[in-house]
Amino acid sequence: MSTTFRSCFVPTGFILGYIAYLLLGALVFSAIERPVEETLKSDLSSLKAEFLNLSCVNATALETFLEKVLQANKYGVSVLENATLPTNWDLASALFFANTMVTTVGYGHSTPLSDEGKAFSIVYALIGVPFTMLVLTACVQRLMHPLTYGPISICQRRAGLQPRTASVVHFIVLLFLVVLGFFVVPALVFSTIEETWSFLDSFYFCFISLCTIGLGDFVPAEKPGQRLRALYKISVMVYLFVGLMVMFLVLRTFHKLADVHGWTAFFQLPSYEEEDEDREPIIEQEPDDESPEAEKASVKPLDPSSQVSYNSINR
Partner 1 sequence: MAAPDLLDPKTATHNSKPRLSFSAQPVLLKSPDDFEPRVTVMRWKTVLSVFLLVVLYLIVGATVFKELEQPHETSQKLAILVEKLEFLEQHPCVNSSDLENLVKQVVSALRAGVNPSGYSSNQSSLWDLSNSFFFAGTVITTIGFGNISPHTEGGRIFCIIYALLGIPLFGFLLAGVGDQLGTIFGKAIAKVEGMIDKWNVSQTKIRVISTVLFILFGCLLFVTLPAIIFKHIEGWSALESIYFVVITLTTIGFGDFVAGEGERRQHEENSGGSELEYLDYYKPLVWFWILIGLAYFAAVLSMIGDWFRVISKKTKEEVGEFRAHAAEWTANVSAEFKETRRRLSVDIYDRFQRAASIKRKLSAEINLSPPVNQQMTPGKRARSVNLGDEREVYPYTFVRNGSLFLNGLIPDYADHLDITKTQTK
- The residues facing 271 across adjacent strands are 304
Identify whether the C-beta of residue 190 lies closer than 8 Å to the C-beta of residue 210: no
Choosing from 1, 160, 227, 310, the residue that interacts with partner 1 (CB under 8 A) is 310
- The residues facing 45 across adjacent strands are none
Helix (H, G, I), strand (E, B) or coil at 283: coil
Choosing from 38, 50, 280, 303, the residue that interacts with partner 1 (CB under 8 A) is 303
Residues 73-102 touching partner 1, rule: CB under 8 A, are: 73-75, 78-81, 100-101
Does 1 sit near partner 1 (CB under 8 A)?
no
Q: Is 66 exposed, middle or buried (0-12, 13-18, 19+ CB in 10 A)?
A: exposed
Choosing from 85, 86, 106, 150, the residue that interacts with partner 1 (CB under 8 A) is 106
Q: How far is the CB of 70 from partner 1 (least distance, A)?
A: 6
- The span of 20-28, 86-94, 167-175, 298-306 binding partner 1 (CB under 8 A) equals 298-306
Residues touching partner 1, count (CB under 8 A): 92
Q: How far is the CB of 266 from partner 1 (least distance, A)?
A: 12
Choosing from 115, 280, 288, 295, the residue that interacts with partner 1 (CB under 8 A) is 115
Residues 137-196 touching partner 1, rule: CB under 8 A, are: 137-138, 141
Does 136 sit near partner 1 (CB under 8 A)?
yes
CA neighbours closer than 13 Å in the CB half-sphere of residue 241: 21
User: Positive or negative CA dihedral for 16, 17, 21, 22?
Assistant: negative
Question: CB-based contacts of 286: which residues, under 8 Å, 6+ apart?
Answer: 149, 150, 152, 153
Residues 44-63 touching partner 1, rule: CB under 8 A, are: 48, 51-52, 54-60, 62-63
Question: CB-based contacts of 48: which residues, under 8 Å, 6+ apart?
Answer: 79
Does 131 sit near partner 1 (CB under 8 A)?
yes
